[in-house]
Amino acid sequence: MKFLTIVSLAVLPMFGMAQSISPEVIASAGEHYDNGTTQLSWTLGEVVIDTYDNGTNVLTQGFHQTQLTVTSIEETLSNVRLNMYPNPTSELLNIELGNNESDIELKLFDMGGKLVYTNKIEAYQTKYVVPMNAVATGNYLIQMSSVDGKMNTTHKVMKVGVAQ
């Protein structure tokens, strides 16, 4: 009898079923997409979600839990003084630089993101002229990045037609 009890206690747990808890949510809508390389999940109607962070520990509340660690982005400090005029312009855009100790790569993008002009401003060059007469009327973004990484700035410029 003692042997049968020991064998029963040893063998029966192998056939037992345990409770499995998987994440579930009751929401008005939601979906999960997976294409093999990227996964996207969304839920509509989650009433309470929040994230608490005390510097060493992070507690997230809600159905979707992030697996990513957010890191800070270091601000690039620039001591380069910058003045652009006239803006809006019809032909030439003047750029005045002060304290320019590094080469600067200048790029002009249209609002669709297409690169329409690029050039390099040499270190210690204090004035530069962008030929805006070669581009169509509209809004543009000028991105200026120094080679040493101390300057990375973007400015909006408007090209207007010449009044006749």
Q: Render pLDDT for 117-164 as a digit per residue (tens, 0 to 9).
A: 999 999 888 899 999 988 999 999 999 998 887 788 899 999 998 655
Fold type of domain 81-159: Immunoglobulin-like (2.60.40)
Q: Render pLDDT for 44-79 as a digit per residue (tens, 0 to 9).
A: 776 666 777 787 877 777 666 666 666 666 665 566
**Cα–Cα dist 159/109, whole Å:** 12
Boundaries of every domain in the chain: 81-159
23 band by pLDDT with thresholds 50, 70 and 90: low
Q: Report whether 105 contacts 131 (CB < 8 A).
A: no
pTM: 0.53
Tell me, what's the pLDDT at 32? 82
Tell me, what's the pLDDT at 45? 72
Cα-to-chain-centroid distance, residue 25? 29
Mean pLDDT of 35-46: 80
